[in-house]
A = this chain, B = another copy of it.
Amino acid sequence: MDFKVNSKQLEKLLTKIIPAVPTRTPMTILENFLLEIKSGLLTIYATDMEISLKSSINIVSEKDIKIVVPARMLYETVRSFKDTSIDFTISENKKLILKTSTGEYSFSYIDAKEFPEIPSFPQQENDVDINEFNISGNDLKDAFELTAFAMSKEEMRPAMTGTLISFNEEGIRFVATDGHRLVNMLKTGHQTNINEQYIVPERAITVLLKILDDKEVKVFVNKTHISFVLSDIELISRLIGQKYPDYQSVIPVENEFALKINTKDLLSSIKRMMIFSPSNSRRVKFSINANLVEISAEDVDSGSAGKESIICEYSGDQIDIGFNSSYVSDVLSHLNYEEVYFKLHSSTKAVIINPDKNKENENLMMLLMPVRLNN
């Protein structure tokens, strides 16, 4: 026997790392964990070449070991055990053997040198390009949850498939847009001396949202990679090496008409209108008057239509404006505030959506492009 681990402790470790293992990849080596034992520390790595995860536990081992083992098989096996002690042996014939009191399980392993190199921070000593900052896990989670839905799914413009993290003296700004809607959120209260911006890819954000807790996160970032060091796991991701579009130029400055409305009432109405909106345009119409918004949708193909009235406060000229109902629903679902403002200028100009009052240390703005009404 080379080392011994408790099944539940190992399961916890593998559960953290498995999200980085790709489910379908032409590079089958990536369907493995890199398992390393060095000076009594068992470290498990996984990567899909875009992101990598790494986590460790202390064990007792006389040997240093570095092998590549089938990730899902090992994970499923360990996960199926009750709370028990597992004896691990690395055998001569390239087998990793697990023994419990009732069974024995063996896996073929591959030499560690076959596994792709995983970036690390600092990549070399005196790496002057590295910036670092700290942020609470909750703040980071909030920021990514609020912005992630607006990222583009179209590979044609890679920059927009990620979320922009931009640093300046105000704080840390998170921006995501697909050209139809935009989220722009400033976290103040974070003093950094960084004056850069980075684009974090969607996959890193998806995995981060699974593993973030309320503890402090240490972030390292250079020109090509970003590393999130959580209390018990580290995620390293490639950055999207593209220029982010000039989002500030699409934010209108003089949207003089303000509509104040109850978020839940509007969202529930929009969800109902999605039943009636045409499946291609998903168009919903807002007819905004001083005290009442009429929300309506019509699908000529199925001959169905719906309209509802919601009370509101509105200061501007009567206006009819169309939106994609899915996008309105997305925006409202992410606005956890009792009331929101829609700030408008005309039926063809971008609309700004704000919460009625910002949370502490947070400045949130969403933007929605209208769609043409055909009347």
Nearest residue, chain B, Cβ from A75: B275
A26: Cβ under 8 A from any B Cβ: no
Assess whether A77 is interfacial by the CB under 8 Å rule: yes
Pairs A–B under 8 Å by Cβ, sample size 27: A70-B302, A73-B275, A73-B276, A76-B275, A77-B272, A77-B275, A80-B268, A80-B271, A95-B303, A102-B310, A103-B272, A103-B306, A103-B308, A103-B309, A104-B306, A104-B307, A105-B272, A105-B304, A105-B305, A105-B306, A106-B304, A106-B305, A107-B302, A107-B303, A107-B304, A108-B302, A108-B303
A73: chain B residues at CB < 8 Å are: 275-276, 302, 304
A276 to B106, CA, bound (A): 9
> Closest residue of chain B to A309, judged by CB?
B102
CA distance A135 to B285 in the complex (A): 54
CA distance A309 to B100 in the complex (A): 11
This chain's copy number in the assembly: 2
Bound complex: CA A7 to CA B272 (Å): 14
A102 vs B307: C-alpha distance in the bound complex, in angstroms? 9
Q: How many residues of A contact B (CB 8 A)?
A: 28
Which has the most chain B C-beta neighbours within 10 Å: A77, A105, A269? A105
Closest B-chain residue to A93, C-beta based?
B303
Q: How far is the CA of A244 from the CA of B308 in the complex (A)?
A: 56
Question: Which residues in window 242-298 of A have CB below 8 A to B?
Answer: 268-269, 271-272, 275-276
Who on chain B is nearest to A311 by CB? Answer: B102
Q: Which one of A95, A268, A302, A304 has the greatest number of beta carbons of chain B within 10 Å?
A: A304
CB closest chain-B residue, reference A307? B104
Chain A 80-116 interface 0/1 with B at a Cβ cutoff of 8 Å (1 = within): 1000000000000001000000111111100000000
Q: Which of B70, B103, B302 contacts A304 (CB 8 A)?
A: B70
- Contact call B306/A77, Cβ cutoff below 8 A: yes
Q: Within the assembled complex, what's the spacing in Å between the Cα atoms of A102 and B269?
A: 10
Choose from B275, B304, B305, B309 the contact partner of A80 (Cβ within 8 Å): B275
- Chain B residues in 8 Å Cβ range of A303: 95, 106-108
For the complex formed, measure the closest distance between the CB of A267 and the CB atoms of chain B, giving whole angstroms: 11
CB < 8 Å neighbour of A103 from B95, B271, B307: B307
Using A103-B306, A103-B307, A106-B305 as known contacts, list a sample of 13 further A-B pairs with CB atoms less than 8 Å apart, ordered by residue number in A. A70-B304, A77-B275, A77-B306, A80-B268, A103-B308, A104-B306, A104-B308, A105-B276, A105-B304, A105-B306, A106-B304, A107-B302, A108-B303
Interface centre among A70, A103, A276 (most CB of B within 10 A): A103
Contacts of A95 in B (CB 8 A): 303
Residues of B within 8 Å of A77, CB to CB, are: 272, 275, 306
Closest B residue to A82 using CB positions = B268
Q: A306–B271 Cα gap in the complex (Å)?
A: 51
